[in-house]
C-alpha cells in the first residue's frame, strides 16, 4: 500500500509526526524483489543461509547505480577527496589497535531451555533501556526478562564479538588468525600516509572507499536491512583537530540531502544523535541519518567524529609516524577524522522501498517504482506494438542497440503492449519507446514517461538524443 507522506513541522526532530512508511508490509518488497530479479535469498536451493542475500539481474544494476551515485558525489565531483580499494583481509593487529577485538561486541543472552540466542537490546521489554542498563550484568533478573519464544529463563548477558574469523595460509593455528573486516574504514587509516604522499593532498582532505564488510550479527533480519555480509560506502575526512565539529556540521546535512536528491521522501528521513553511553568505542560524537522503514525509524547512515582515535592508535601500535605536517603553519599533529558511513545495501533497499507506488488505473492496480533515473536498472525499454511485423522488430532492435552504447536499454516483445508497460513500470524503467505501424509511415516513435504516463511522438532519427537528453537533464 502506498501512503502519501504527512508533512512534519521539523522533519529532523524525533518528535515530529510519523509520516508512515511508503510500504505498509515489507513482504510486498521482498516478493517484488524475488519475482522481478532484484534480490534472492542466498544458496536458496540448499534452504538458504541466514542473513546473506544475492542480487539478481536488476538488483545488481540498482546497487551498482547506488554505488556509482555515491562515488560521483563523494569522489568524482570533489577536488579534495580521493578513492581507495583496500583488502578485506588485513593484518590482525589492525583490529587490536582499532579497538574492534576488545570492544566490537553486542550483548548476548541465551535461553536456558532451548538454547536460542538473542541480542539483549532486541528482546521485548528492553526498548527504553540505556546502554548503561544493557551493560548491567543483573539486567535480566532485574527486569524479569524471559525467552520470547518459549518463556524459558535467560542467561546473564555476555559480550559477543561480531567479527568473523578465518585462517590465512595452510595451518589453522592462532598465529594464522585473520578477521574479515567489519568496516571498510580501517583500510583507509592504514593507507593514510600512502594516499596523502602519493596524491599530495593537504588537510582537509578525504579518502573514500566502497566494499564488503562482514559482521556475525546476533539477530540479523528485516530482509537486507541487517545482513552478515554487506557493502559499505565510507569516507574518512582528515581535518585539523579544532575544525572537526565544523566539518561534522557540514557533512551531516550534505549526507542527508544526498538521499533526497536521489528521490527519498524528505519527511521519511530524520537525524538522531547518539546518547553519550550509546557511542561506539571510537566515536566522540555520532548522528544517524534515519529512515522510516516499514519496521520503524532505523539507521540508514552514520556520521561520526572519530577524533584521533584510529590514526593515534595505529601510530602507537605500529610505531609509525602518522602525523601530518602543515607546511603553512608549520604545525605537526595527528589529524582528526569526520567519517560518513553508509551501507550500499541499506541505501539500495531504502531507494527501492521509498520508490514503491500502487495506484488504481482504469480499475486495475498499477505498481510502479518511481526510482530516480540515475538509479533505475534500465533507463529505457524499446517495445514493438506488433511483434509479427519484422520491420517493426528490426527497427526496435536498431533503436535499442543505438541507445545501449550509452545506457542500459532493453527490448521486450513477450506480451501485449499494456503488459509490457506494466512490467517496465514495476521495475522502475523511466522511459519506454514504442514502435508501431504508423512509425513505418511517419518515421516517428512514441516515448512514454513512467511517472506521468504521458506520451510524445519523436522522429526515429532523434529518439536517441531525445532520451539521452531527458536522462541528462535529470542527472543529480
Based on the shown chain and the rule CB under 6 A, indicate whether residue 234 belongs to the binding site for ligand GAP.
yes
Based on the shown chain and the rule CB under 6 A, indicate whether residue 122 belongs to the binding site for ligand GAP.
no
Based on the shown chain and the rule CB under 6 A, indicate whether residue 204 belongs to the binding site for ligand GAP.
no
Q: DSSP string of 275-318?
A: PGGGS-TT-SEEEEEEEEETTEEEEEEEEEEEETHHHHHHHHHH
Based on the shown chain and the rule CB under 6 A, indicate whether residue 230 belongs to the binding site for ligand GAP.
yes
Based on the shown chain and the rule CB under 6 A, indicate whether residue 301 belongs to the binding site for ligand GAP.
yes
| 276 contacts 282 by C-beta, under 8 angstroms | no
Closest CA to 292 of 59, 14, 69: 14
Q: What is the smallest separation between the CB atom of 232 and ligand GAP, expressed in angstroms? A: 5
Helix, strand, coil percentages in the chain from 3-state DSSP, rounded to 5: 35, 30, 35
Based on the shown chain and the rule CB under 6 A, indicate whether residue 215 belongs to the binding site for ligand GAP.
yes
Based on the shown chain and the rule CB under 6 A, indicate whether residue 100 belongs to the binding site for ligand GAP.
no
Radius of gyration for the alpha carbons in the chain, expressed in angstroms and rounded? 25
- Provide the b/e sequence for 223-239 (b: ≥16 CB within 10 Å): bbbbbbbbbbbbbbbbb
**Of the residues 226, 357, 400, 423, which one makes contact with ligand GAP according to CB under 6 A:** 226
Determine the Cα–Cα distance for residues 121 and 165; give it in Å rounded to an integer: 24
String of contacts with ligand GAP for each residue 151-190, x by CB under 6 A: --------------------------------x-x-----
> What are the cell numbers at 104?
566490537
Q: What is the smallest separation between the CB atom of 430 and ligand GAP, expressed in angstroms? A: 26
Length of the chain: 476
Helix and strand totals (H; E) in the chain: 15, 23
| 119 contacts 219 by C-beta, under 8 angstroms | yes
- Binding segment for ligand GAP among 32-40, 338-346, 430-438, 454-462 (CB under 6 A)? 338-346
Determine the Cα–Cα distance for residues 206 and 235; give it in Å rounded to an integer: 6
Q: What is the smallest separation between the CB atom of 379 and ligand GAP, expressed in angstroms? A: 26
- Binding segment for ligand GAP among 20-28, 58-66, 131-139, 337-345 (CB under 6 A)? 337-345
Helix (H, G, I), strand (E, B) or coil at 145: coil
- Report 126-155 residues binding ligand GAP (CB under 6 A): none
Based on the shown chain and the rule CB under 6 A, indicate whether residue 256 belongs to the binding site for ligand GAP.
no
Based on the shown chain and the rule CB under 6 A, indicate whether residue 349 belongs to the binding site for ligand GAP.
no
Q: What is the smallest separation between the CB atom of 370 and ligand GAP, expressed in angstroms? A: 22
Element (H, E) at 365: strand 364-369
Based on the shown chain and the rule CB under 6 A, indicate whether residue 236 belongs to the binding site for ligand GAP.
no
Determine the Cα–Cα distance for residues 106 and 109; give it in Å rounded to an integer: 10
Based on the shown chain and the rule CB under 6 A, indicate whether residue 211 belongs to the binding site for ligand GAP.
no
Based on the shown chain and the rule CB under 6 A, indicate whether residue 267 belongs to the binding site for ligand GAP.
no
Q: What is the smallest separation between the CB atom of 159 and ligand GAP, expressed in angstroms? A: 16
| 476 contacts 262 by C-beta, under 8 angstroms | yes
Residue with cell string 578477521? 179
Q: What is the smallest separation between the CB atom of 346 and ligand GAP, expressed in angstroms? A: 4
Based on the shown chain and the rule CB under 6 A, indicate whether residue 39 belongs to the binding site for ligand GAP.
no
**Of the residues 106, 299, 374, 425, which one makes contact with ligand GAP according to CB under 6 A:** 299
Name the residue whose CB lies closest to ligand GAP: 343
Decide the pairing of beta strands 269-273 and 229-239: unpaired
Q: What is the smallest separation between the CB atom of 358 and ligand GAP, expressed in angstroms? A: 27
Closest CA to 375 of 294, 259, 255, 266: 259
Based on the shown chain and the rule CB under 6 A, indicate whether residue 302 belongs to the binding site for ligand GAP.
yes
Based on the shown chain and the rule CB under 6 A, indicate whether residue 310 belongs to the binding site for ligand GAP.
no
Positions in the binding site for ligand GAP (CB under 6 A): 183, 185, 215, 217, 226-227, 230, 232, 234, 299-302, 339, 341-343, 345-346
Amino acid at each position: 500500500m502506498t501512503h502519501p507522506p504527512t508533512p512534519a513541522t521539523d522533519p529532523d526532530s524525533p518528535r515530529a509526526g510519523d509520516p508512515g512508511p511508503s510500504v505498509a508490509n515489507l513482504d510486498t518488497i521482498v516478493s517484488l524483489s524475488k519475482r522481478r530479479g532484484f534480490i534472492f535469498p542466498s544458496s536458496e536451493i540448499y534452504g538458504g543461509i541466514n542473513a546473506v542475500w544475492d542480487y539478481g539481474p536488476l538488483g545488481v544494476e540498482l546497487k551498482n547505480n547506488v554505488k556509482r551515485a555515491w562515488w560521483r558525489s563523494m569522489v568524482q565531483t570533489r577536488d579534495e577527496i580521493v578513492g581507495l580499494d583496500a583488502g578485506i583481509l588485513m593484518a590482525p593487529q589492525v583490529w587490536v589497535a582499532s579497538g574492534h577485538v576488545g570492544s566490537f561486541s553486542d550483548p548476548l543472552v541465551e535461553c536456558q531451555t532451548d538454547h536460542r540466542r538473542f541480542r539483549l537490546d532486541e528482546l521485548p521489554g528492553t526498548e527504553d533501556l540505556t546502554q548503561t542498563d544493557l551493560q548491567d550484568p543483573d539486567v535480566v533478573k532485574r527486569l524479569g526478562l524471559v525467552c520470547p519464544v518459549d518463556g524459558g529463563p535467560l542467561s546473564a548477558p555476555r559480550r559477543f564479538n561480531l567479527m568473523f574469523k578465518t585462517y590465512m595460509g595452510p595451518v589453522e593455528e592462532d598465529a594464522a588468525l585473520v578477521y574479515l573486516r567489519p568496516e571498510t574504514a580501517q583500510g583507509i587509516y592504514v593507507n593514510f600516509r600512502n594516499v596523502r604522499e602519493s596524491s599530495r593532498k593537504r588537510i582537509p582532505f578525504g579518502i573514500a572507499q566502497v566494499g564488503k564488510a562482514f559482521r556475525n550479527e546476533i539477530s540479523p533480519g528485516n530482509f537486507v536491512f541487517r545482513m552478515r555480509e554487506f557493502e559499505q560506502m565510507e569516507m574518512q575526512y582528515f581535518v585539523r583537530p579544532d575544525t572537526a565539529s565544523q566539518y561534522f556540521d557540514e557533512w551531516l546535512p550534505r549526507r542527508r540531502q544526498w538521499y533526497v536528491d536521489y528521490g527519498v521522501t524528505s519527511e521519511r528521513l530524520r537525524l538522531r544523535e547518539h546518547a553519550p553511553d550509546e557511542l561506539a568505542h571510537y566515536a566522540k560524537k555520532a548522528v544517524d541519518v534515519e529512515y522510516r522503514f516499514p519496521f520503524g525509524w532505523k539507521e540508514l547512515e552514520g556520521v561520526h567524529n572519530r577524533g584521533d582515535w584510529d590514526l593515534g592508535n595505529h601510530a602507537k601500535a605500529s610505531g609509525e609516524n602518522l602525523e601530518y605536517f602543515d607546511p603553512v603553519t608549520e604545525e605537526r599533529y595527528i589529524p582528526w577524522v569526520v567519517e560518513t558511513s553508509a551501507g550500499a545495501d541499506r541505501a539500495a533497499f531504502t531507494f527501492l522501498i521509498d520508490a514503491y507506488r500502487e495506484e488504481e488505473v482504469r480499475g486495475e492496480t498499477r505498481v510502479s517504482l518511481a526510482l530516480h533515473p540515475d538509479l533505475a536498472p534500465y533507463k529505457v525499454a524499446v517495445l514493438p506494438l506488433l511483434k509479427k511485423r519484422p520491420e517493426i522488430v528490426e527497427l526496435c532492435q536498431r533503436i535499442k542497440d543505438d541507445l545501449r552504447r550509452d545506457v542500459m536499454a532493453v527490448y521486450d516483445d513477450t506480451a501485449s503492449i499494456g503488459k509490457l508497460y506494466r512490467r517496465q513500470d514495476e521495475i522502475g524503467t523511466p522511459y519506454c519507446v514504442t514502435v508501431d505501424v504508423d512509425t513505418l509511415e511517419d518515421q516517428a516513435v512514441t516515448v512514454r514517461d513512467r511517472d506521468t504516463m504521458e506520451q510524445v511522438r519523436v522522429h526515429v532519427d532523434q529518439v536517441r538524443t531525445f532520451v539521452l537528453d531527458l536522462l541528462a537533464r535529470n542527472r543529480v
